[in-house]
Amino acid sequence: MATKTVRGATFLDKGGTGKTTTAAHFGVALAEQDHNVLIVDLAGKQNDLAEYFGLLDDWQAAIDADDDDDQDWPNIGTVFTDQWEQIARAVPDAAEQMIWETSEGPDIIPAHPDLDGVDDDLASVDQEDRYQRLNEFTTEHLEPMGYDVILFDLPGLTNNVSYNGLWAARNIIAPVEMGPLEEKQANGLRDDLDRIATNFDIELELTMVLPNKVDTRTNLAEEYLQQFEDAYPDAFAPAYVPVSQDIRNACNQGKTVFALDKPSKTAEEAIEAYRVNAKAFYRRLTGGE
Ligand SMILES: Nc1ncnc2c1ncn2[C@@H]1O[C@H](COP(=O)(O)OP(=O)(O)OP(=O)(O)O)[C@@H](O)[C@H]1O
Ligand SMILES: [Mg+2]
């Protein structure tokens, strides 16, 4: 297994393109390929990631219980606060307490309502420190737990939380839908990443551009696929993910398509695409294996 933790983030500056779906399914595919995986939800207001793993009710119950005894920390929002170092010293297993096991392989850190205030709070933090808090938390608390892969599911907008996610992950998987506007969006992403990398003097890699919700019954889809491949020859994913109603169905049942009893044809295609892409993603970041 890997000696160094591989990090990645699902990100595109646009809502609903499949960031959470990709993080969940890459996580399961990589776990299936014998990696020890953690997925961190920095996005889900509705706690989308927990939903894919059937943990929504338990998670809601845990939050309600915390509210009752006025003890709603530690959670992933806490990591971004000025008090975090103090809390980590006082509660040595604070990071472990945030982690939930799933029945499909990966561990997850679900989102938390406290994340809502983080963007504003970070705005008043020194520039030096503002974008690095998640990176420090990851290095000091998550990596030592021995994960091979840590995936961050980011919000569909650029704010201080997503900057933290990009900084911590350095490698980006961008799920894109096929269409003219989307191509502009993806080009915007490349410009954004270049700008962020220059401003912060860090390297950001667009590791994978992943066409999602592809409907090959239309000729246009083929055209857009070709355009994306031409625009991103290195980052283009080896397999696209088809549009599949079963992805939604599975989510509603608290699972990924990997755990469906009777996956439809499109779900089977999606499963295969996630396997191939997750493997390629890991290989791109480790240079082999
Ligand atoms: N390939 C697919 N086929 C069909 N439905 C899909 C597919 N991928 C994602 N979806 C559905 O599209 C919706 C949006 O997906 P998802 O939540 O992953 O997007 P997101 O980029 O994380 O959104 P947000 O920006 O709100 O966080 C969800 O209902 C999801 O189940
Ligand atoms: Mg999402």
Range of the domain at 133: 6-286
- CA 216 remoteness from chain centre: 26
Question: How far apart are the C-alpha atoms of 13 and 156, rounded to whole Å?
Answer: 5
Query: Side-chain half-sphere of 56: how many Cα atoms within 13 Å?
Result: 14
Question: Angle at which helices 265-286 and 19-32 pack, to 10 degrees?
Answer: 80
Residue 196 lies in a domain: yes
Q: Which atom of ligand 1 is nearest to the CA of 48?
A: 17
Whose CA is closest to atom 8 on ligand 1?
18
Per-residue pLDDT of the chain (289 residues; tens, 9 = 90+): 446 899 999 999 888 999 999 999 999 999 999 999 999 999 977 779 999 999 999 999 988 887 766 555 789 999 999 999 999 999 999 999 999 999 999 999 999 999 999 999 999 999 889 999 999 999 999 999 999 999 999 999 989 999 999 999 999 999 999 877 666 766 777 888 888 888 888 889 999 999 999 998 888 888 888 888 888 899 999 999 999 999 999 999 999 999 999 999 999 999 999 999 999 999 999 986 5
Q: What is the DSSP string of 167-197?
A: HHH-EEEEEEESSHHHHHHHHHHHHHHHHHH
Ligand 1 pocket (Cβ < 6 Å) reads 15-21, 43, 48, 156, 212-213, 241, 243-244, 247-248, 251
Residue 31 lies in a domain: yes
Q: Which atom of ligand 1 is nearest to the CA of 175?
A: 21
Residue 54 lies in a domain: yes
Whose CA is closest to atom 15 on ligand 1?
18
Question: How far apart are the C-alpha atoms of 174 and 91, rounded to whole Å?
Answer: 35
Number of domains in the chain: 1
Residue 35 lies in a domain: yes
Residue 167 lies in a domain: yes
CATH classification at residue 46: 3.40.50.300
Residue 1 lies in a domain: no
If you measure from the C-alpha of residue 42 to the centroid of ligand 2, how many angstroms do you get, rounded to a whole number? 9
Residues with Cβ within 8 Å of 186's Cβ and at least 6 positions away in sequence, in order, are: 12, 174, 176, 209, 228, 231, 232
Residues with Cβ within 8 Å of 73's Cβ and at least 6 positions away in sequence, in order, are: 87, 114
